[in-house]
Amino acid sequence: MKHTIDTRCVHGGREDFATLGVHAPPIDLSTTYPVADLAVGTASFDALVAGEASAANPIYARLHNPTVARVEQAIAQLEGAEACVAFGSGMAALTALLMASRPSGSHMLAVRPIYGTSDHLLKSGLTGLDCEFVRADEIAQRIRPDTALVLIETPANPTLDLVDIAAVVRAAGTVPVVVDSSFATPILQNPLAFGARYVLHSATKFLGGHGDVIAGVIACAETDAKPLRTMRAATGALLHPLAAYLLHRGLSTLALRVERAQRNAIELASRLQRHAAVRCVYFPGHGTVRNDALLKTQMRGPGALMALDLHGGHAAAATVMRAVRLITPAVSLGSVDTLIQHPAGLTHRVLDDAARRECGITAGMLRLSVGIESVEDLWADLSQALDAATAGSRLPEAA
Ligand SMILES: *Cc1c(COP(=O)(O)O)cnc(C)c1O
CATH of the domain at 319: 3.90.1150.10
What's the CA gap between 304 and 327, in Å, rounded? 14
Q: Which atom of ligand 1 is nearest to the CA of 94?
A: 10
Residue 159 in contact with ligand 1 by CB distance below 6 A? no
The whole-angstrom separation of Cα 24 and Cα 245 is 9
Q: pLDDT of 159-202, one tens digit each?
A: 999 999 999 999 999 999 999 999 999 999 999 999 999 999 99
Residue 300 CA to ligand 1 center (angstroms) comes to 22
Instruction: Decide which of 251, 276, 308 is a domain's last residue.
Output: 251
Could you tell me if 325 and 287 lie in one domain?
A: yes
The phi, psi pair for 365, rounded to 5°, reads -95, 135
Of ligand 1's atoms, which has the minimum distance to the CA of residue 118?
10
CA distance 370 to 356: 24
Number of domains in the chain: 2
Q: Same domain, yes or no, for 338 and 367?
A: yes
Among 177, 185, 331, residue whose Cα is nearest residue 261: 185
- Statement to judge: residues 170 and 269 lie in one domain: no
Q: What separation in Å is there between the alpha carbon of 261 and the centre of ligand 1?
A: 19
CA of 160 to the centre of ligand 1 (A): 15
Q: Confirm whether 371 is domain-assigned.
A: yes
The answer to whether the CB of 65 is under 6 A from ligand 1 is no
Distance between CA atoms of residues 308 and 298, nearest Å? 23
- 169 C-alpha to ligand 1 centroid (Å): 22
180 and 280: one domain? Answer: no
Tell me, what CATH number does 197's domain have? 3.40.640.10
Ligand 1: does its nearest atom lie under 6 Å from the Cβ of 206? Answer: no
Cα 388 to averaged position of ligand 1 atoms, centre (Å)? 31
| Contact indicator for 154, 389 with CB cutoff of 8 Å | no
The answer as to whether 237 is a domain residue is yes
Residues 89-102: tens digit of each pLDDT:
999 999 999 999 99
Q: From the CA of 91, give the closest atom in ligand 1.
A: 9
192 within domain boundaries: yes
Rounded to the nearest angstrom, the distance between the alpha carbon of 183 and the centre of ligand 1 is 9
Cβ of 182 closer than 6 Å to ligand 1, yes or no, is yes
Is 276 found in the same domain as 374? yes
The catalytic residues are 62, 115, 180, 205
Specify whether 195 is located in the same domain as 120.
yes
> Distance between CA 267 and CA 13 in Å, rounded?
34
Top mutation candidate among 202, 210, 213, 331 for ligand 1, by most atoms within 8 Å of CB: 202
> What is the percent of the chain with per-residue pLDDT over 70, rounded to a whole number?
98
Specify whether 241 is located in the same domain as 264. Answer: no
* Last residue in a domain, options 196, 216, 251: 251
Residue-wise pLDDT for 61-119, tens only, equals: 999 999 999 999 999 999 999 999 999 999 999 999 999 999 999 999 999 999 999 99
How much is the pLDDT for 391?
Answer: 83
- Of 201, 232, 251, which closes a domain? 251
- Measure the CA dihedral 112/117/122/124, to 10°: 130
**What residues make up the domain containing 167?**
5-251
Q: Is the CB of 115 under 6 A from ligand 1?
A: yes
Examine the domain organization and report whether 202 and 292 are in the same domain. no
Pocket probe for ligand 1: among 97, 117, 339, the residue whose CB has the most ligand atoms within 8 Å is 117
For ligand 1, atom 7, which residue shows the shortest CA distance?
90
| Lowest-pLDDT range of 6-15, 260-269, 295-304, 343-352 | 343-352
Structural domain includes residue 363: yes
Which residues, in sequence order, are CB contacts of 157 under 8 Å at separation 6+? 113, 114, 115, 116, 180, 182, 183, 305, 347, 367
Question: By alpha-carbon position, which residue is closest to atom 5 of ligand 1?
Answer: 90
33 belongs to a structural domain: yes
Mean pLDDT, rounded, for 310-323 = 97
**pLDDT, mean over the chain:** 96
- 398 pLDDT above the threshold of 90: no
Same structural domain, 50 and 170: yes
Same-domain pairing of 211 and 266: no
Say if residue 64 is in the same domain as residue 174: yes
pLDDT for 399 equals: 41
Note whether residue 32 is domain-resident. Answer: yes
- Whether 90 is in the pocket of ligand 1, judged by its Cβ within 6 Å, is yes
Q: Is residue 319 part of a domain?
A: yes
Q: How far is CA 196 from the centre of its chain?
A: 15
Q: In terms of domains, do 265 and 243 share one?
A: no
The rounded Å distance from CA 361 to ligand 1 centre is 18
CA-to-CA separations, 342 to 316, 322, 328, 361, 381, in angstroms, rounded? 11, 11, 12, 10, 17
CB neighbourhood size of 280 (10 A): 17
221 in any annotated domain: yes
